[in-house]
Each structure stands twice: as C-alpha cells, then as structure tokens.
A and B are shown apart, each in its own frame.
Chain A
C-alpha cells in the first residue's frame, strides 16, 4: 500500500533537547511539507520541499530544520530554539501536477 508514514505517533522529550520527526512516503511524490497544528490555530506551514536537495521556509520556520536528501524522506528537527515545541506535527506530500496533499497520520510531540 502506498502512503506516507510518520513515526513515532507519540514522542516525549525534555526541554532543551533536539528531536527529529520522521516522514517517509512511497507514493513517488515530488513535494513534501511539514505543518504544525495547535488548538484553535489550524495548520501552519513550517517547511516545504519541491524537489530533492531543495527546501523553503514556511510561515513558522524559526526553531526548526529539515533536510531532503532522498525523494522519499523529509525529516523535521525541532531544535531547542523552538519556544513552544509541544504540538501535533503533520507531514504531507504532493504529486507534481496534483492540487491536493496526502497527509500522514501525524506525530504528537510533548516537551516537558
């Protein structure tokens, strides 16, 4: 089955630690995206990548970093510089020419 996989589903980290969220897709999609969901805030774009080895900042990129070394993978690192890292993180991908995204099932990150 083709799809987009985010792991783990739940993640706990201590304040001050960097943490990397995994996102893998086997849909052969070119573009990949990271969004963050907070209560009452909707989905806000963190980073996106249209092709391998290239990515752009979204609306709330501060405190985050990404890489796109392979078409299938787009990991997101939440650094200690991110002031409010506790949130639900969603990864998405899109086939070139398509309008909509396919979303993963999300990772709930809790920083204590």
Chain B
C-alpha cells in the first residue's frame, strides 16, 4: 500500500522554465512533508518542507504548495537550471512517538540547456 505517490517517473523541462513536481498521499495522519533531491550514487539532500497547517512555503527558487483537502503537494522550481537535474523524492511524516518518513518513488527531473 503506497501511502506517498509520485505518479510521474520523469519530467523534462527547458532551462529557465518552471518545473512542477507532484506528490499525492493517502494517510490523513501525515502532518509534515519534505522534498529531497538526489544525485546518482549519493545520499538525498533536504530541499524544502511544509507543515500541514500551512499551504505554501517558499525558499528562493523553490516553492512547495500543499492542498490538504486533495491530499496533494507540489514542488515548483523557478527558474529551472541544469544543475537541478536530479531525482526528487517527496516524503511525509506521520505524527507520534515513532518518527519515520515515508518516501515516494521519486521523479527524475531533467533540465535541458
């Protein structure tokens, strides 16, 4: 049962344009969401996060939007740069004492020069 879904395995955009990566979740107990970026043969690095009590969080070129009623979040990258080419993972935290993150399968973003 996949609780965090990234339905697009890949996305290709032109440099300077907007990249929009999507993530859906099914567990209503998730209260915090994170995006990680991963290059091949490296560990993921934290990118941006959002609490379930907010609907938007912005950090430079990166903005995450959360639609709780639709159980959907999206990551916007504007403008996209070739160095943004990587796999992006959406992750969600369920509240409680046993803290752990559930990850989606990832979306490979390719930004073409």
Contact = CB atoms under 8 A, between A and B. Distances in A.
A binds B: yes
A99 B105 CA distance: 20
In this complex, the interface size class of chain B, counting residues with CB under 8 Å from chain A, is 20 to 34
Interface residues of A, number: 29
Nearest to A108: B41
A11 to B, nearest CB: 13
A99 B44 contact: no
Given A90-B43, A100-B46, A40 B99 contact: no
Interface string B29-52: 000101010000111111001000
B105 A45 contact: no
A39 to B, nearest CB: 10
Interface string A26-54: 00000101010000111111001010000
B93 A99 contact: yes
A108 B104 CA distance: 20
8 contacts: A31-B99, A40-B105, A43-B44, A90-B44, A100-B34, A105-B43, A106-B42, A106-B43
